[in-house]
């Protein structure tokens, strides 16, 4: 189809002109946080495998053992024949870690939010989103058909006034936010949001993708007053998959009505076994789980940046071209720090995003901090 290809080419040309075209670059991971790319060995600050559990011998062994015994795939949706016992075991472990009564696994974190939000919200309801909430919270909110309103980043007072002013009569209301913001590394004020949510009978949803495993002894931003706690197994937990921790009736409803659960195949047994083994490591060794945040803090002190609140540290540079140039300069020095550009972040806030992980050598972090101090000043 000529018109189809022309459409795609024109779109790509516009992205290229704005320094916004993205490319897949083959990258192989080696020992620790080292990677190889274009024949060059680089220390990666762009990987969410914060604890290197994807390469942990016990995690790999668990995945292999479960795969040998049970096969590679689940074979069907869990409601048909894909409900392997390892999945219930993993759900129980996650519920315990998050202090919730129950848990429902999904194929990924993205699928969790795409299923969860429309299962609870619909036309005539109101969803409030933090302006920096992750793309999959937006996707789930839009899919639900509910009215979506946006509050300024971490602005609890604005969330409260929007709830009071915009809630449709008899409509349900939800507040959705990242627990740890994925491109900024700061934390949501969950206590204050819970106050507002409770005062307005709104349901609070927190996305803890970047908290589980690395904050608060591995519990992440787990919070007893947040009734909907979702997250992913593909970052600090080292594997793949998403989850929602909630009360028993909510989880039972998700199993009946979340379309990305009902109509999508269950997680492979090897993936579930790997996640269980990874949670074992996290729970057994809190000192290890604390390393990424400690390294991020040391970096921010050395680089003269605001103290890190999570293993994610942003350095906002403004235009996409500036972020790309800084990323290339660091790559020439042996560091992989991917530039983050719109639409992942708002226009004018392109940045370097440093993700700290347990096995990055401290002397390399110090060298990186010295380089970062010499980058052009922030706008």
Q: Does the footprint of ligand PLP cover residue 234 (CB under 6 A)?
A: yes
Among 66, 87, 90, 136, binds ligand PLP (CB under 6 A): 136
Of 121, 115, 117, residue with least CA distance to 260: 115
DSSP 376: P
276-315 mask for ligand PLP (x: CB under 6 A)? ----------------------------------------
Does the footprint of ligand PLP cover residue 209 (CB under 6 A)?
yes
Q: Is 54 in the site for ligand PLP (CB under 6 A)?
A: no
327 part of the active site: no
What is the nearest approach in angstroms of ligand PLP to the Cβ of residue 242? 5
CA distance 199 to 111: 30
Task: Identify whether the C-beta of residue 248 lies closer than 8 Å to the C-beta of residue 102.
Answer: yes
Stretch that binds ligand PLP, among 61-69, 96-104, 202-210, 364-372 (CB under 6 A): 202-210
Q: How far is the CB of 351 from ligand PLP (least distance, A)?
A: 15
Least distance in Å: CB of 133 to ligand PLP? 8
Q: Is 210 marked active-site? A: yes
263 contacts: CB under 8 Å, gap ≥ 6 = 77
- Chain residues 76-115 in contact with ligand PLP, contact rule CB under 6 A: 108-110
Three-state secondary-structure class, residue 151: strand
Cα distance from N-terminal residue to C-terminal residue, the chain: 45
Helix, strand and coil in the chain, % to nearest 5: 45, 20, 40
> Is the Cβ–Cβ distance between 193 and 160 less than 8 Å?
no
Q: Least distance (Å) from ligand PLP to the CB of residue 214?
A: 13
Least separation in angstroms between CB 231 and ligand PLP: 8
| Cα 163 off chain centre by | 26
Residue 52 sits in the site that holds ligand PLP (CB under 6 A): no
* Residue 235 known to be catalytic: yes
Cα–Cα dist 179/132, whole Å = 11
Tell me which residue has its CB nearest to ligand PLP: 109
Sole window of 2-10, 190-198, 206-214, 246-254 interacting with ligand PLP (rule: CB under 6 A):
206-214
Residue written as token pair 């307005």: 200
Q: What is the total count of residues that contact ligand PLP (CB under 6 A)?
A: 13
Which of 125, 130, 149, 178 is close enough to bind ligand PLP by CB under 6 A? 178
Catalytic residue from among 182, 260, 264, 357 = 182
Residue 200, Ramachandran bin (φ over 0: left; ψ between -120 and 50: alpha; else beta): alpha
Sign of CA dihedral 291, 295, 301, 302: positive
Please report whether residue 151 would count as binding ligand PLP according to CB under 6 A: no
By CB under 6 A, tell whether 353 contacts ligand PLP: no
Q: Does 232 bind ligand PLP (CB under 6 A)?
A: yes
Query: What Rg value do the Cα atoms of the chain yield, rounded?
Result: 21
Left (φ > 0), alpha (ψ -120 to 50) or beta: where does 232 sit?
A: beta
Binding site for ligand PLP (CB under 6 A): 108-110, 134, 136, 178, 182, 207, 209-210, 232, 234, 242
Just list the catalytic residues: 182, 210, 235
């Amino acid at each position: 189809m000529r018109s189809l290809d022309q459409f795609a080419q024109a779109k790509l040309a516009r992205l290229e002109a704005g320094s916004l075209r993205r490319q897949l670059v083959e990258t192989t991971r080696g020992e620790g946080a080292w990677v190889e790319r274009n024949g060059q060995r680089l220390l990666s600050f762009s990987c969410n495998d914060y604890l290197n559990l994807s390469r942990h011998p016990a995690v790999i062994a668990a995945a292999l053992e479960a795969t040998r015994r049970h096969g590679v795939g689940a074979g069907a949706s869990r409601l048909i024949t894909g409900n392997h016992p390892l999945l219930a075991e993993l759900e129980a472990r996650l519920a315990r870690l998050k202090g919730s009564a129950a848990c429902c696994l999904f194929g990924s974190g993205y699928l969790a939010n795409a299923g969860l939000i429309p299962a609870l919200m619909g036309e005539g309801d109101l969803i409030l989103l933090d302006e920096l909430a992750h793309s999959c919270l937006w996707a789930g909110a839009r899919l639900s058909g509910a009215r979506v309103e946006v509050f300024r980043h971490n602005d609890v007072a604005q969330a409260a006034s929007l709830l009071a002013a915009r809630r449709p009569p008899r409509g349900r209301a939800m507040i959705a936010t990242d627990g740890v913001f994925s491109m900024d590394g700061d934390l949501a004020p969950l206590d204050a949001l819970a106050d507002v949510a409770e005062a307005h009978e709104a349901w609070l949803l927190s996305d803890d993708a970047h908290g589980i495993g690395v904050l608060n002894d591995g519990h992440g931003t787990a919070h007893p007053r947040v009734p909907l706690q979702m997250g992913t197994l593909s970052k600090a937990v080292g594997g793949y998959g998403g989850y929602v921790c909630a009360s028993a009736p909510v989880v039972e409803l998700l199993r009946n009505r979340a379309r990305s659960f009902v109509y999508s195949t269950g997680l492979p047994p090897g993936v579930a076994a790997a996640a269980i083994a990874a949670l074992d490591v996290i729970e057994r060794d809190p000192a290890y789980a604390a390393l990424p945040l400690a390294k991020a803090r040391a970096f921010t002190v050395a680089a003269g940046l605001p103290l890190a609140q999570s293993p994610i540290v942003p350095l906002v540079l403004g235009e996409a071209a500036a972020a790309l140039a800084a990323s290339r300069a660091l790559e020439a020095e042996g560091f992989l720090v991917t530039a983050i550009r719109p639409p992942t972040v708002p226009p004018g806030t392109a940045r370097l995003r440093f993700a700290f992980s347990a096995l990055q050598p401290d002397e390399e972090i110090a060298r990186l901090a010295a380089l970062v101090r010499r980058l052009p000043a922030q706008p």
